[in-house]
Amino acid sequence: MAEKNAKKSDLNIAGRVARYFIDSKLTILVILVAVLAGLLAILNTPREENPQIVVPAANIIVSKPGASPEEVQQLIVKPLEAILQGLNGVEHTYGMAMDSLGVVSVQFAVGQDKEDSLVKLYDRIMSNLDRMPPGTRQPLVKPVDVDDVPILTISLSSNTLGDQKLRSIANDALEHLRRIEGVSVSFIHGGRPRQINVQFDLDRMRNYGVTLLDIRRILEATNIDIPSGVLIHRNRVSTVSSGGMLKSATDVGNLVVALRAHQPVYLKNVATISDGPGEIERVYRIAYGPAFSGPRPADIENTAVTIALAKRTGTNAVTVASHVLTELDRIRGTVIPSGVTVNVTRDDGAKANDAVNTLLEHLSIAIGTVVLLLIAFLGWRAASIVTITIPLILFITLAVGMAAGQSINRITLFALILSLGLLVDDSIVVIENIYRHYAKKGADKLTSAITAVNEIGKPTNLATFTVIMAFLPMLWVTGMMGPYMGPIPFNVPVAMIVSLAIAYTVAPWAARKWLTVTGGAHAHEHAPGRLEQGYVRYFTRLIDEPAARRNFFVVVLALLTLAMLLPVVRLVDFKMLPKNNTNTFNITVDMPEGTALEETDRVVRLVGDIVRAHPQVATYESTVGEGGVIDFNGLLRGAGLKRGPHLGEVRVNLRNKHDRWNSSIDIAMGLRKPIAQLAQQTGATIKLVEDPPGPPVRATILAELYGPDYQQLLKLAKNMREQVFGKTADVVDIDDSNTADVTEYHIHVNREKAALAGVLPAQVAETLNAFLAGYDAGAVHIEQEKEPVTIRFQIPQADRVEPSDLRKVFFINPVGARVPLTDIADIIRDPAAKPILHKDQRPVVYVTGELAETSQVYAVLKMWWWLRSHDLPGNVKLKQYFMADPDTLGYAVRWDGEMRLTLDVFRDLGAAFMVAIVLIYLTLVGYYRSFATPLIVMGAIPLTLIGVLPGHAILGQYFTATSMIGVIALAGIVVRNSLLLIDFILDFRREGHGLREAVIQAGATRMRPILLTALAIILGTFIMMFDPVFGGLAVALIFGTFASTVLTLFVIPLVYYLWARREQATGTG
Amino acid sequence: MPAPRSRFLLLMAPCILVVACGQETPKPADTPALSRPFVTPQERNGRVLVPQTVLTNLGGSPGVYVLAPDHTARFRMVRTGKSYDGRVEVLSGLAGDEVLVTGDVHDGSPIQPR
């Protein structure tokens, strides 16, 4: 009894845990719970393609009619930016001062609470309303919400029905679809709503002496119906309402607007009234490419209306999308007539599901290869025990993720694949040691297992914690990359802790059940293979011959130096993240401002012709007059605000990536040349926008020009565009924020003449606005109509072509005399004032560019270098900045865009690496109670570079942010290897072996398990190598593990030997 | 850069090849070329005028059919202004040197060259 007690107190945590679980029924329960929780997590956790990045943002729109861009800048944009900059959590403010309108976009820091930020923003604006300059309208705050990005877009198209009918069908369909649980924002994109068009005939108005003002007043006073109260009679209450609501176009036409010679003048006498769609301001179409397999309509391009649906935060995109699509199928043929073609053009649910399923499949392949490896090394009995633990660990990790509110996304699964190589280690070490103990003479199944676990408990704990230490600092990566990469520092440590727990509970329990006590048949342990013999032979030479040792160190150092030189000679290139193979990309068409809708439409159709020629294109959706349905990338690029007849967009949907050979990157590359030719022919700026693999940026290369004079900045931008961007290789889609020169007709009201004639300038402005831009004078009341049917005043297109058409406009002054517009105003032709952009309270002009295939780092460096030694025309020397705020006293350029993101990410990951190393060091110092030994253990970390960098060079892989994560992970992994080596040396020495003997034996004994774990990592991560984004991580891990493992086996014991020998010498002498 | 294709593809490649060979990419308009009269717009004082009859409406957009270099009729959206006895001024959408196709055609219909 006493002996047993003593033994119990001897046990460390690992031993005690193992002792408790080894023959407990609880273990079975643990397994059951883990399996159930895991299955639940796989089925129920919301799936996404990429982790959600929360960036609260809003646009504040303030209009001040009549103010020039300069005025808006001074009176609205600047003060508003200053007010908002002071708000807590605001990262950037972007201002835009246009004619009569100021827009300030405020972007909060990543990860700020959305609701809190918006409440603060409203509060801030409301409390500063008194500072608004007179004549400004109430500011409008429009939140830009990532959750409002549609996950599903359904295109309804038909050329026979027309866009108005399509829109009304879409409205009916939307009513059904948005009832589905989990759908949040939904809207219809495209199609003109029904309205009552009142098209004035200026000649007849003059004849009848009716002015716009009269008509408006009468219409507004007529089109009203209000409850007037109740009548009570014979115990009954009847409500009374009164008014003369207009219910149809005929009602509107029969409105009496004036009396002439005692005869009523009806509205239809002075205007043409029609019930139907309004003027075309935007056009939406869909067309089919060669990869489309369904039936094709007779026309190439077909008028389309898109139903867009977003999901509620936290719901599963996969289920929401599939429920909506089921409902869509149900209402086809009834709500949606059979003549309407239905295409689902965006389905983020299916995309997420596909990404997750593909990776789950990859994960199982990785598990399979690791299991094969285990069988080869450990034999099937031990291997099967470890195999059982793998899914258990993954299941629990997924369940923890679900409980923590994470989603299953690509990054989560990559984190699991990454941790796969690491998490088998703990179980392997435990099983191996139990196996070793069972092979001893007189082994008892129960106690031997506990002793075995107890023995390796401490180093295993430590090794696991060093890996966790390596990953944890990554949680503090800032910017959008933080939440994007977030699942890695969350899931890997969780998986590691769980693997430790399983190794101490389930592994010994299973070992006791299935491993057999061989009792003295030392088949496994004391049969050093050829590998070990070779190792011992070579290693002994290194120890005994100083010359060989020196040569060895020289070779290692030379390799390290050569590896470090690879990035310098550009055999390894840096890049933030490579592009991904996707199913869709965007082409934006930006014609010079002032281009008519029809001309833009012509160019967009030409773009369509180029796109349609590609065999992998399934469908493409063209939008003219505004952007397409917004996506996450567009949202952060600020595409949502863009609108105007000179803008167009073509969303290209490719054949599913599983069914095609070429990646979307190659397809986009192939299209770039014809598109660039078209751009040159038509004078349009056409950009191919591919979805970024990571966080989106406004442009890959973004040069922000700052300086005291805005006109000079615009000139600089032009020079920069031509002299710098245009002359740098591989820079494509070059653009700047300057707008084309547009002529403007300014109706200058002569104040004196107007006053004498009795017409107020405001009357002039209002009338002209209604005639030219159109004016909504209320709505007719039609029941059953899902959208308001507005009454729109305008003069017909044919009557507003040239400034001379304005001569027909007249006013009636208080004495009843007619005053023609031309009597009181002059029409002046000027160039229109250009908008002024701001960023963080500084006027800025942007020059942007994309990279066709190479990394932006080198293009930017090249331009940076060029600008350092050259002046721009006009002897302007630009001061260049990367991170710091620019000095706006002189002219300066700051390189933002992906360059900034890259610098930030590598800075953060570098810092995380440093912190990880310090943490590992401190942990090791605590463990060894020595300052020098941890340094030897950590000597393995630089050795990884000998593998990582040449690995990237050999495979032609970019050194990306994921490669950097690989390097950080490697620090944890290799420390674990050398730690086990040093631990064994210390153990051997404690057992009384000599230093030389201990050092040699440690390597030989630990070689097998070290190689096994290294191979597990290499094979486990192998599948990741084919992923364009995470390939870097895989390359870093595979080559880094390989090189460092091989070298660690020699370098670490050798360095330890030399150090210990010196210690002994100084100690004794 | 290594070609980023998934392992799934490597396995599926033979199957896809078989499927792809058996399936011809369908052509959008595999109909015989139509014979339709042509019209050219007139230019008068910088105004582009077209006969009222060539104006059509496709899915709600007003436009005309223009003969494309590949001998197909392609829809072109136009904005019209005033009409002068049977002729309509095109405010935007046409440059004035196009050949217009009249009669019943679709966007993309092959047209017999004259």
Q: pLDDT tens, A472-517?
A: 999 888 888 888 889 999 999 999 999 999 999 999 999 888 887 7
Task: Categorise residue A132: left if φ over 0, alpha if ψ from -120 to 50, beta otherwise.
Answer: beta
Task: Give A26-59 pLDDT, tens digit per residue.
Answer: 899 999 999 999 999 988 888 888 888 888 889 9
Contact: B59, A303; criterion CB under 8 Å? yes
With bands split at pLDDT 50, 70 and 90, how would you rate the model's confidence at B17? very low
Side chain identity at residue A54, one-letter code: V
Side chain identity at residue A42, one-letter code: I
Chain B interface test: which of A598, A610, A612, A1030 (most B C-beta within 10 Å): A598
pLDDT at residue B78, rounded to an integer: 93
Q: Percent of chain A at pLDDT above 90? A: 34
Contact: A303, B58; criterion CB under 8 Å? yes
Q: How many CB atoms lie within 10 A of CB B86?
A: 9
pLDDT at residue A1, rounded to an integer: 38
Task: Give A269-307 pLDDT, tens digit per residue.
Answer: 999 999 988 888 899 999 999 999 888 888 899 999 999
A689 phi and psi, to 5 degrees? Answer: -105, 110
CB contacts of A162 in chain B (<8 Å) are: 57, 59-60
Q: Has residue A1039 got a pLDDT over 70?
A: yes
The contacts of residue A870 (CB under 8 Å, 6+ apart) are none
**Separation CA A814–CA A309 (nearest Å):** 53
**Separation CA A153–CA A165 (nearest Å):** 19
What letter does residue A1028 receive in the DSSP assignment? T
* CB of A627 closer than 8 Å to CB of A634: yes
Q: Has residue A390 got a pLDDT over 60?
A: yes
CB contacts of B13 in chain A (<8 Å) are: 661
pLDDT at residue A523, rounded to an integer: 47
A179 phi and psi, to 5 degrees? Answer: -75, -20
CB contacts of B82 in chain A (<8 Å) are: 798-799, 801
State mean pLDDT over A898-917. 90
Flag whether the ipTM exceeds 0.85: no
Contact: B77, A159; criterion CB under 8 Å? no
Contact: A299, B107; criterion CB under 8 Å? yes
Q: Which two tokens stand for residue A115?
A: 């609701």
* CB of A472 closer than 8 Å to CB of A489: yes
Q: How far is CA B46 from the centre of its chain?
A: 26
Question: Average model confidence (pLDDT) for chain A?
Answer: 87
Contact: B91, A797; criterion CB under 8 Å? yes
Q: Has residue A760 got a pLDDT over 50?
A: yes
With bands split at pLDDT 50, 70 and 90, how would you rate the model's confidence at B6? very low
Q: Has residue B71 got a pLDDT over 70?
A: yes
Task: Say which of B7, B76, B82 has its CB closest to residue A1023.
Answer: B7
Task: Give A95-148 pLDDT, tens digit per residue.
Answer: 999 888 899 999 998 888 888 999 999 999 999 888 888 888 889 998 888 888
* CB of A791 closer than 8 Å to CB of A198: yes
CB pairs under 8 A between A and B: 135
- Nearest-by-CA chain B residue for A601: B77
CB contacts of B77 in chain A (<8 Å) are: 280, 283, 597-598, 601-602
State mean pLDDT over B94-114. 86
pLDDT at residue A331, rounded to an integer: 93
Chain B interface test: which of A156, A360, A364, A602 (most B C-beta within 10 Å): A602
pLDDT at residue A9, rounded to an integer: 54
- The separation between the first and the last C-alpha atoms of chain A, rounded to the nearest angstrom, is 49
With bands split at pLDDT 50, 70 and 90, how would you rate the model's confidence at A948? very high
Contact: A956, B8; criterion CB under 8 Å? no
Task: Say which of A191, A296, A1026 has its CB closest to residue B26.
Answer: A296
pLDDT at residue B30, rounded to an integer: 55
- On the CB side of B4, CA atoms within 13 Å amount to 21
Helix, coil or strand: residue A502: helix
**Which chain B residues in 71-90 lie under 8 Å from chain A, judged by CB atoms?**
74-83, 89
pLDDT at residue A174, rounded to an integer: 94
Q: What distance in Å separates residue A844's CA from the closest CA in chain B?
A: 34
Q: Is B60 on the interface with A (CB under 8 A)?
A: yes
pLDDT at residue B31, rounded to an integer: 65
pLDDT at residue A3, rounded to an integer: 41
* Residue A526: C-alpha distances to residues A439, A987, A1002, A1015 (Å): 10, 18, 13, 22
Q: Is B103 on the interface with A (CB under 8 A)?
A: no
Higher pLDDT, A909 or A480: A909
- Tokens 């139903």 sit on residue: A307
String of DSSP letters for A729-789:
TTEEEEEES-----EEEEEEE-HHHHHHHT--HHHHHHHHHHHHT-EEEEEE--TT-SS-E
Q: A984: closest CA among A997, A970, A968, A966?
A: A997
pLDDT at residue B40, rounded to an integer: 86
With bands split at pLDDT 50, 70 and 90, how would you rate the model's confidence at B2? very low
Chain A interface test: which of B7, B94, B97, B109 (most A C-beta within 10 Å): B7
State mean pLDDT over B69-80. 91
Q: Lowest mean pLDDT: which of A5-19, A547-561, A632-646?
A: A5-19
Contact: B79, A192; criterion CB under 8 Å? no
CB contacts of B58 in chain A (<8 Å) are: 159, 299, 303
Q: A150: closest CA among A283, A304, A312?
A: A312
3-state SS string for A959-1023 = ECHHHHHHHHHHHHHHHHHHHHHHHHHHHHHHCCCCHHHHHHHHHHHHHHHHHHHHHHHHHHHHH
Length of chain A: 1069
Contact: A797, B25; criterion CB under 8 Å? no
- Find the helix or strand (DSSP H, E) in which A30 lies: helix A25-44
Task: Say which of A166, A283, A1025 has its CB closest to residue B61.
Answer: A283
Q: Lowest mean pLDDT: which of A80-94, A130-144, A281-295, A435-449?
A: A435-449
Q: Has residue B61 got a pLDDT over 80?
A: yes
Q: Lowest mean pLDDT: which of A550-554, A853-857, B64-68?
A: A853-857
Q: Has residue A705 got a pLDDT over 50?
A: yes
State mean pLDDT over A616-638. 87
Q: Has residue A6 got a pLDDT over 50?
A: no
CA–CA–CA angle A428, A430, A432 (5° rounding)? 65
String of DSSP letters for A697-736:
-S-SEEEEEE-S-HHHHHHHHHHIIIIIITTSTTEEEEEE
Q: Which residues of A253-285 are buried (b: 16+ CB within 10 A; e: fewer)?
A: bebebbeeeeeebbbbbbbebebebbebebbbb
B56 phi and psi, to 5 degrees? Answer: -135, -175
**Separation CA A632–CA A115 (nearest Å):** 19
pLDDT at residue B27, rounded to an integer: 46
State mean pLDDT over A1007-1017. 86
CA–CA–CA angle A719, A721, A722 (5° rounding)? 65
Q: What distance in Å separates residue B112's CA from the closest CA in chain A?
A: 18
Q: Has residue B14 got a pLDDT over 50?
A: no
**Separation CA A910–CA A813 (nearest Å):** 75
* CB of A573 closer than 8 Å to CB of A730: no
Whole-structure pTM value? 0.86
Q: Has residue A380 got a pLDDT over 70?
A: yes
* Residue A307: C-alpha distances to residues A180, A299, A331, A786 (Å): 14, 22, 14, 15
With bands split at pLDDT 50, 70 and 90, how would you rate the model's confidence at A381? confident
pLDDT at residue B114, rounded to an integer: 67
Give the alpha-carbon dihedral of A974, A975, A981, A985, to 10 degrees: 160
Task: Give A918-933 pLDDT, tens digit per residue.
Answer: 999 999 999 888 898 8
State mean pLDDT over A420-431. 86
Q: Is B46 on the interface with A (CB under 8 A)?
A: no
With bands split at pLDDT 50, 70 and 90, how would you rate the model's confidence at A1033? very high
Task: Give A533-548 pLDDT, tens digit per residue.
Answer: 889 899 999 988 989 9
**Separation CA A814–CA A997 (nearest Å):** 115
* CB of A710 closer than 8 Å to CB of A846: no
Q: Has residue A1068 got a pLDDT over 60?
A: no
With bands split at pLDDT 50, 70 and 90, how would you rate the model's confidence at A528? low
